[in-house]
Chains A and B, each alone.
Chain A
């Protein structure tokens, strides 16, 4: 299918594919098995100028947008969903700075993220604040020109490995969602530590850790946007990064489809390759159609984000929902096609199935995505009256 990419976009896709094939593929099984953080690969992406695709040129980036970021994320995830999310989560941490940062904050933090020298992370989720982000208990108490942070963020991707963190904390609990504020924190600040590294089902090479704040003193100049804008920062960020999760899901699904297709031509049963059986063929037809539909939705959403519109919540929820459900279904079918072999770790599809599951959960569960979509529909209807 021709998605009418520019020369630059094709170049990004090809380059991300080349690095993924040559550098990621040989190590993905071991990274998964040992849960080793892929620092070397992140450096490779940095050297190839892929870490700053969505960052303006004046801050050391490539000057592209959400679509360029999605193209690279998809290609990396086609080979390894764990490396893919590590790559993508840095953008999740950087996007708030890009959107809400002052010129000074952007100049300070974005160039190192764009060059791949440093990774970023985003800290919103807590033990009691998942889908209900309003339940945040981490507090930031004002103390002169400073704020004192206390609390624990949970399941933070790139936690411990990233240098730059965007963290949402309550500056005024009484104000509810209007009492949250976004801060830029740096690894190494006094009172900012990391909890245990989680042992996960999939995306195992990615780092998932707690961010622990104990009287962590932060200067007010580290506030992103304004005091009380924390939820707006978080929601607007997620609206723009969800297509990245969609792209990750499309990549994982495509990787599984590629593996299953190649296998089906070599697996002989009843004297014929299993690709010649209509039952298998129909599975492939459905898988390929779903992957392509998900891809088209992700690209269209990314392009919509790049127009600069604010009205993006519903679309970005749709693309994340559909692509991640597709990834789960297609990877499950890929394991089914490889059957006994597919269930074994010698073949990559069982890992792809494990990696796919998280895409239905993080950056908002798919149930929350459905809420967002439905709310968008109802609002639209109300606006017409």
Chain B
């Protein structure tokens, strides 16, 4: 994806100006890759990294291999262009089906450009597997002989909950789950030598009406930068304290 820290929007076409913008791995996906590699280091197994994108996205897969992933698969076809989150979820799920057996599908909680957080859950739906979102900790339990489960701590806004699911399952992770490692020299050498397979719409047996712009129910009518909001104030403290402060403010303003 393009590095969005410096990205600008073309006012004429309402699209991101991608020319000259460096490509990076979505930061939340780096957390997902790191978690996958850590789980592999702890429990064994194999990490396959998948991305849908133009041919240059192979570089992102190579950086995942440098971090310790075993292989990378690039889903790339002109027919995928213009895909929204629905068509993207469909396409990725088709690729995962082609891989065959798997225990865990990991995602970053969202992309930092679209910020939708829909693709992880979308893929889980297409694969018809359980999903746990916003994970801050993943433990694989009962792996010895029994059917393994994932016990996942989910970070919610003001609390956390622990959910457990049988595998295979899909989990989306948040930034706080880990700190992605720096690539190592040996990892980079491995990445350099690694061959990235490219799968097209045909390879993954994707239905033409479900992919790309044609398969996307979302239509972008208009993109605009909202005007800055006026003065705002962040209330801090425990939920109880914040509630009281908010109540008093609303009362002061004679809203309630």
Which of A11-19, A185-193, A257-265, A329-337 is near enough to bind chain B? A11-19
Contact with A along B167-193 (1 / 0, CB 8 A): 000000000000001111111110010
Determine if A8 and B189 form an interchain contact, defined as CB atoms under 8 angstroms apart.
Answer: yes
Report the minimal beta-carbon distance from A16 to chain B, rounded to whole angstroms. Answer: 9
Contacts of A15 in B (CB 8 A): 182-185, 188
B192/A12 in contact, CB under 8 A: no
Stretch at the interface among A46-54, A149-157, A316-324: A46-54
Q: Which of A11, A47, A53 contacts B188 (CB 8 A)?
A: A11
Q: Which of A27-51 contact B (CB under 8 A)?
A: 44, 47-50
The secondary structure that dominates the A interface is helix
**Residue from B181, B183, B189, B192 with most neighbouring chain A CB atoms (10 Å):** B183
How many angstroms from the CA of A23 to the CA of B192 in the assembled complex?
24
Q: For B184, what are the chain A residues with a Cβ–Cβ distance below 8 Å?
A: 15, 47-49
Is the CB–CB distance between A18 and B182 below 8 Å? Answer: yes
Q: Which residues of B contact A62 (CB under 8 A)?
A: 185-186
Annotate B71-94 by CB proximity to A: 1 below 8 A, 0 otherwise.
Answer: 000000000000000000000000
Does B192 contact A48, Cβ atoms closer than 8 Å?
Answer: no
Task: Choose one: A7, A8, A47, A53; the contact of B182 (CB below 8 Å).
Answer: A47
Residue A2 interfacial (CB < 8 Å): no
Chain B residues numbered 186-215 whose CB sits less than 8 Å from any CB in chain A: 186-189, 192
Of B185, B187, B189, B192, which one neighbours A50 at CB under 8 angstroms?
B185
What distance in Å separates the Cβ of B184 from its nearest Cβ neighbour in chain A? 5
Q: Does any Cβ of B come within 8 Å of A104's Cβ?
A: no
Write out the residue numbers on chain B whose beta carbons fall within 8 Å of the beta carbon of A44.
182
Nearest CB of chain A from residue B36's CB, rounded to whole Å: 18
Interface string of B25-54 (1 = CB under 8 A from A): 000000000000000000000000000000
CB distance from B164 to the nearest CB of A (A): 32
Q: Number of residues in A with C-beta < 8 Å to the partner?
A: 16
> Which B residues are in CB contact (< 8 Å) with A49?
184-187
**Residues of A contacting B188 in the complex (Cβ-Cβ under 8 angstroms):** 11, 15
Q: Which residue of the partner chain B has the closest CB to A53?
A: B185
Chain B residues positioned under 8 Å from A12 (CB to CB):
185
Asked whether, in the complex, the Cβ of B185 is within 8 Å of the Cβ of A23, the reply is: no
Closest chain A residue, CB of each to CB of B181: A47
Q: How far is the CB of B65 from chain A (nearest CB, A)?
A: 14
Chain A's closest residue to B191 (CB) is A11
Q: Which residue of B lies closest to A14 (CB)?
A: B188
Residues of chain A in range 95-146 having any CB-CB distance to chain B below 8 Å: none
- A53 / chain B contacts, CB cutoff of 8 Å: 185
Given B181, B182, B185, which contacts A11 in the complex, CB threshold below 8 Å?
A: B185
How far apart are B37's CB and chain A's nearest CB, in angstroms? Answer: 13
Q: Give chain A residues whose Cβ lies under 8 Å from the Cβ of B192.
A: 7, 11
Hey, which chain A residues are within 8 Å of B186, CB to CB? 49, 62
A contact residues around B189 at 8 Å (CB): 8, 11
Kindly provide the distance from the CB of B63 to the nearest chain A CB, expressed in whole angstroms. Answer: 11
The listed residue with most B CB atoms (<10 A of its CB), out of A7, A12, A15, A53, is A15
CA A22 to CA B181, docked complex, whole Å: 12
* Smallest CB separation, A156 vs chain B (Å): 28
A377 vs B187: C-alpha distance when bound (angstroms): 45
Residues in A with CB closer than 8 Å to B183 are: 15, 18, 48
Q: What residue in chain B is nearest A45 (Cβ atoms)?
A: B182
User: In the complex, what distance in Å separates the CA atom of A18 from the CA atom of B188?
Assistant: 13
Question: Shortest Cβ distance from A33 into chain B, in angstroms?
Answer: 25
A50 to B183, CA, bound (A): 11
Residue of A nearest to B186 (CB): A49
How many angstroms between the C-alpha atoms of A8 and B183 in the bound complex? 14
Q: Give the complex CA separation of A215 and B184 in angstroms.
A: 43
- A321 to chain B minimum Cβ distance, whole angstroms, is 31
A48 CA / B187 CA spacing, docked (Å): 8
Between B183, B185, B189, the greatest number of chain A beta carbons within 10 A of the residue's beta carbon is seen for B185
Can you pick out 23 interface pairs between chain A and chain B where the beta carbons lie within 8 Å of each other?
A7-B192, A8-B189, A11-B185, A11-B188, A11-B189, A11-B192, A15-B183, A15-B185, A15-B188, A18-B182, A19-B182, A22-B182, A23-B182, A44-B182, A47-B181, A47-B184, A48-B185, A49-B184, A49-B186, A49-B187, A53-B185, A62-B185, A62-B186
Q: B interface vs A, CB < 8 Å?
A: 181-189, 192
Other contacts beyond A8-B189, A47-B181, A47-B182: 9, CB < 8 A: A11-B188, A11-B192, A15-B184, A18-B182, A18-B183, A48-B184, A49-B185, A50-B185, A62-B186
Instruction: Please provide the 4 A-B residue pairs with the shortest distance between their CB atoms, ordered closest to farther.
Output: A49-B185, A49-B184, A48-B184, A49-B186
